[in-house]
Amino acid sequence: MTEHPIPLPPFPSREELRKAGTRQEAIDELYEVWLAAHAEAVKLAERLPAVFGYPPRPKITLHVARGYDDEWILTEERIAELAALDPEQHWTEVSAESTHQFQEYFTFSDAEGWRFYLPAFLHHYLAEFPLSGWDAVYWACTERKHFDLVTPEQAAFIDEFLSLCHAWED
């Protein structure tokens, strides 16, 4: 696979935000700020493939992590059964819906899973920035629980991500 940027959807228009339930007063006051913040997020997201590359699929996939959350102890057979529910072989195949539905992932992952899923969660968070309400990836980056396999370049990217969040989301 080549390391090319994965396009993000365009930032919602004022009308799309209004139809989605955003208060008109907030749109009038903050829309230009949101556009500027989103433009910075897009620039950061474009670097994800080059920085994170294509790590191998982990043993602890999204459904396996949920299994650990729900069942605490999993047999190898159960792990295989749950892992089969996650078809993605590369982080670019992880949907935004999956990152929204599996917010507990980083609590139950390991270093290999962290390395595989982190760029997917980052990508989808940045796609919705600064309006995302799904903050598991922010807390995972803040806590740095599974930094074992993170390269210095990836750590610097994570620091940039956190700086972006702190600059625009306060």
Q: What is the DSSP string of 60-75?
A: S-HHHHHHHHHHS---
pTM (two decimals): 0.88
Residue 2, pLDDT score: 46
Asked if residue 105 lies in contact with residue 124, where contact means CB atoms within 8 angstroms, the answer is: no
Say how far apart CA 30 and CA 115 lie, in whole Å.
34
Token pair 């059964």: residue:
81
> What residues of the chain score a pLDDT lower than 70?
1-5, 133, 170
pLDDT for the residue 5:
58
Per-domain residue ranges of the chain = 43-168
DSSP string spanning 127-144?
HTTTS----HHHHHHHH-
Tell me how far apart the alpha carbons of residues 70 and 46 are, in angstroms, rounded to a whole number: 35
Whether the Cβ atoms of residue 37 and residue 129 lie closer than 8 Å to each other: yes
State residue 147's pLDDT score.
Answer: 82
